[in-house]
Structure 1
Amino acid sequence: MRLKVILYFVLIVSCSPKKNANKQLELKLWYKQPATIWEEALSIGNGRLGAMVYGVPSSDTIQFNEDTFWAGGPDTFTKPETYKVLPEIRQLVFDGKYKEAQNLVNEKFIGPKMMPFLPMGDLVLDIKGHENYSNYRRELDLRTAITKVEYDVDDTKFTREVFVSFRKQAIIVHMEAIGTKKMDFTVSFANDLDAKSEAIDNSTLKLSGKAPTINGREGKVTFASLLKIRNHSGTNEIQGSSIVVNNASSVDLILVAATNFRSYNDLSRNPDLMCELYHSEMELESYDQIKYDHIDKHQELFNRVEFKLPETKNSDLPTNERLELFQNFPDPSLVALYYQFGRYLLMSSSRPAGQPANLQGLWNNKILLPQDSKYNANINFEMNYWAANSANLRECAMPLYTFVRDLSETGKITAKNNYNANGWVLHHYTDIWRSTYPIDGTAWGIWPIRGAWLCTYLWEYYQYSLDENFLKLFYPVIKESAQFFVETLVEHPEKGWLVTCPTVSSENRLFDENISICGGSFIDNQLLRDLFKSCIQASEILGIDKEFADTLKATIVRLGPNQIVKDGYLQECLEDRDMNIPELKHKHVSHLYGLFPGNQFTKEDTPELWEACRKSLEMQGDEGTGSSLAWKINLWAHLYNGNQAYMLFKKLLKPTKFGEHGISEGTYPNLFNANSSFQMDGNLGAVSGINEMLLQNRKDEIILLPALPSEWGKGSIEGIRAKGGFEVSIVWKEGKLTAVRIMSKKGKQCNLKYGKKTFQLETIAGKHYLLDGDFQVRK
Structure 2
Amino acid sequence: MKIKNHIAIQKFLVITLCFTLMFCAKPKADVVEPKAEFKLQYTEAAEKWTEALPLGNGSLGAMVYGGVTQEHIQFNEETLWRGQPHNYVHEGASAYLDTIRTLLDTGKQLQAQKIAQEHFMSDPIKQIHYQPFGDVFIDFKNHENFSNYKRELDLNTAINTVSYTVNDVQYTREVFSSFPDQIIAINLTSSKDKNLAFDLWLDAIHEDKSVITSNDSQTLVVKVKDGVLRGVSTLKIKTNGKITNVDGKLQVTEASQATVYLTAATNYINFEDVSGQPEHKVPETLAKVEDSSFDAVKAKHLEDYQALYNRFQLSFGDNGKSKNPTNQRISDFSMTPNDPQLVALYVAYARYLTIASSRPGTLPATLQGIWNDKLTPPWFSSYTTNINLEMNYWPVEMYNLSECHEPLFDFIEDISVTGAKVAKAHYDAEGWIVHHNVDIWRGAAPVNASHHGIWLGGAAWLSSHIWEHYLFTQDKEFLEERYPLMRNAALFYSQFLYEDPNTGFLISSPSNSPEIGGLVAGPTMDHQLIRALFKSTIAASKILNSDLEFTSSLEPLMAKIAPNQIGKHGQLQEWMQDIDDPESHHRHVSHLWAVHPGNEINYEDTPELMQAAKQSLEYRGDNGTGWSLAWKINFWSRFRDGDHAYKLLHKLLSPAEREDGKVGGGSYPNLFDAHPPFQIDGNFGGASGILEMILQSQLDKIELLPALPTALPEGTVKGIVARGGFELSFSWEAGKLKDVSVSSKSGMPCVLKYGDKSIEFETEAGKTYNFDGLLNKKS
Tell me the TM-score normalized by structure 2: 0.94
| Cα distance between partner residues in 2 of 1:610 and 1:181 | 69
1:45 to 56, 59, 72: 56
2:110 to 99, 113, 137: 99
Deviations along 1:255-288, whole A, 9 cap, x unmatched? Answer: 0100111111111111011101111111221110
Q: Does the C-alpha gap of structure 1 residues 99 and 659 become closer, same or farther in structure 2, counting only changes over 3 Å?
A: farther
Give, in angstroms, the shift of residue 243 of structure 1. Answer: 1.2
| Segment drifting more, 661-670 vs 499-508 | 661-670
Partner of 2:317: 310
| Cα distance between partner residues in 1 of 2:761 and 2:88 | 54
| Cα distance between partner residues in 1 of 2:245 and 2:36 | 45
Give, in angstroms, the shift of residue 241 of structure 1. Answer: 2.6
Deviations along 1:340-375, whole A, 9 cap, x unmatched? Answer: 001100110000000000000010000112201000
| SS of the residue 1:30 aligns to | strand
Deviations along 1:73-104, whole A, 9 cap, x unmatched? Answer: 11102111110011100000000001111111
| Cα distance between partner residues in 2 of 1:661 and 1:81 | 49
| SS of the residue 1:677 aligns to | coil
1:155-174 alignment, distance < 5 Å: 155-174=168-187
Give 5+ residue unaligned stretches, structure 2: 1-26
Give, in angstroms, the shift of residue 550 of structure 1. Answer: 1.3
Does structure 2 conserve the Cα–Cα contact (< 8 Å) formed by 1:415 and 1:424? Answer: yes
Does structure 1 conserve the Cα–Cα contact (< 8 Å) formed by 2:657 and 2:664? Answer: no
Partner of 2:156: 143
| Cα distance between partner residues in 2 of 1:98 and 1:487 | 23
Q: Does 1:194 align with 2:201?
A: no
| Cα distance between partner residues in 1 of 2:395 and 2:357 | 14
| Cα distance between partner residues in 1 of 2:686 and 2:341 | 15
Deviations along 1:137-166, whole A, 9 cap, x unmatched? Answer: 000000000000000001100000000011
| Cα distance between partner residues in 2 of 1:247 and 1:409 | 57
Give 5+ residue unaligned stretches, structure 1: 1-15, 214-218, 510-515
Partner of 2:613: 613
Partner of 2:674: 674
1:437-516 alignment, distance < 5 Å: 437-509=445-517, 516=518
One-letter amino acid of the structure 1 residue matched with residue 558 of structure 2: I
Partner of 1:513: none
Partner of 2:295: 288
Give, in angstroms, the shift of residue 185 of structure 1. Answer: 1.3
Q: Does 1:391 align with 2:399?
A: yes
Give, in angstroms, the shift of residue 389 of structure 1. Answer: 0.5
Give, in angstroms, the shift of residue 583 of structure 1. Answer: 6.7
Q: Does 1:326 align with 2:314?
A: no
Give, in angstroms, the shift of residue 181 of structure 1. Answer: 6.0
Does structure 1 conserve the Cα–Cα contact (< 8 Å) formed by 2:582 and 2:620? Answer: no
| SS of the residue 1:64 aligns to | strand
| Cα distance between partner residues in 2 of 1:447 and 1:195 | 37
| Cα distance between partner residues in 2 of 1:536 and 1:597 | 19
2:270 to 263, 274, 288: 263
| Cα distance between partner residues in 2 of 1:658 and 1:633 | 22
Does structure 2 conserve the Cα–Cα contact (< 8 Å) formed by 1:314 and 1:331? Answer: no
One-letter amino acid of the structure 1 residue matched with residue 359 of structure 2: R
One-letter amino acid of the structure 2 residue matched with residue 530 of structure 1: A
Deviations along 1:489-525, whole A, 9 cap, x unmatched? Answer: 110001000001111010112xxxxxx1110011001
Give, in angstroms, the shift of residue 313 of structure 1. Answer: 11
Deviations along 1:687-736, whole A, 9 cap, x unmatched? Answer: 11011111101332111100000011111111010011100112111101
| Segment drifting more, 193-202 vs 565-574 | 193-202
Give, in angstroms, the shift of residue 601 of structure 1. Answer: 1.0
Give, in angstroms, the shift of residue 662 of structure 1. Answer: 6.8
Q: Does the C-alpha gap of structure 1 residues 687 and 772 become closer, same or farther in structure 2, counting only changes over 3 Å?
A: same
Deviations along 1:181-204, whole A, 9 cap, x unmatched? Answer: 612211111211124343341201
| Cα distance between partner residues in 2 of 1:359 and 1:407 | 17
| SS of the residue 1:389 aligns to | coil
1:332-347 alignment, distance < 5 Å: 332-347=340-355
One-letter amino acid of the structure 1 residue matched with residue 427 of structure 2: Y
| SS of the residue 1:185 aligns to | strand
Give, in angstroms, the shift of residue 748 of structure 1. Answer: 1.3
Give, in angstroms, the shift of residue 427 of structure 1. Answer: 0.3
| Cα distance between partner residues in 1 of 2:320 and 2:268 | 50
Does structure 1 conserve the Cα–Cα contact (< 8 Å) formed by 2:54 and 2:64? Answer: yes
Deviations along 1:393-436, whole A, 9 cap, x unmatched? Answer: 10111000010011111101101111111100100100111110
One-letter amino acid of the structure 1 residue matched with residue 89 of structure 2: T
| Cα distance between partner residues in 1 of 2:581 and 2:116 | 22
Partner of 2:9: none
1:124 to 137, 150, 163: 137
Partner of 2:146: 133
Q: Does the C-alpha gap of structure 1 residues 343 and 291 become closer, same or farther in structure 2, counting only changes over 3 Å?
A: same
One-letter amino acid of the structure 2 residue matched with residue 677 of structure 1: P
Give, in angstroms, the shift of residue 483 of structure 1. Answer: 0.6
One-letter amino acid of the structure 1 residue matched with residue 264 of structure 2: A
| Cα distance between partner residues in 1 of 2:549 and 2:749 | 31
| Cα distance between partner residues in 2 of 1:319 and 1:421 | 52
| SS of the residue 2:486 aligns to | helix
| Cα distance between partner residues in 1 of 2:165 and 2:30 | 37
Q: Does 1:220 align with 2:228?
A: yes
Partner of 2:224: 211
Give, in angstroms, the shift of residue 442 of structure 1. Answer: 2.1
Does structure 2 conserve the Cα–Cα contact (< 8 Å) formed by 1:492 and 1:499? Answer: yes
Partner of 2:71: 60
| Cα distance between partner residues in 2 of 1:722 and 1:122 | 42
Partner of 2:754: 754
| SS of the residue 2:75 aligns to | strand
Does structure 2 conserve the Cα–Cα contact (< 8 Å) formed by 1:195 and 1:207? Answer: no
Give, in angstroms, the shift of residue 473 of structure 1. Answer: 0.6
Does structure 2 conserve the Cα–Cα contact (< 8 Å) formed by 1:370 and 1:676? Answer: no
| Cα distance between partner residues in 2 of 1:314 and 1:648 | 24
| Segment drifting more, 101-110 vs 89-98 | 101-110
Tell me the TM-score normalized by structure 1: 0.94
Does structure 2 conserve the Cα–Cα contact (< 8 Å) formed by 1:662 and 1:676? Answer: no
Does structure 2 conserve the Cα–Cα contact (< 8 Å) formed by 1:228 and 1:253? Answer: yes
Deviations along 1:33-78, whole A, 9 cap, x unmatched? Answer: 1111111000000001000000420111110001111111111021
Q: Does 1:114 align with 2:127?
A: yes
| Cα distance between partner residues in 2 of 1:165 and 1:314 | 28
| SS of the residue 1:184 aligns to | strand
| Cα distance between partner residues in 1 of 2:500 and 2:307 | 52
Partner of 2:768: 768
Does structure 2 conserve the Cα–Cα contact (< 8 Å) formed by 1:759 and 1:775? Answer: yes
Partner of 2:546: 544
One-letter amino acid of the structure 1 residue matched with residue 55 of structure 2: I
Say what the alpha-carbon RMSD is for the aligned residues.
1.6
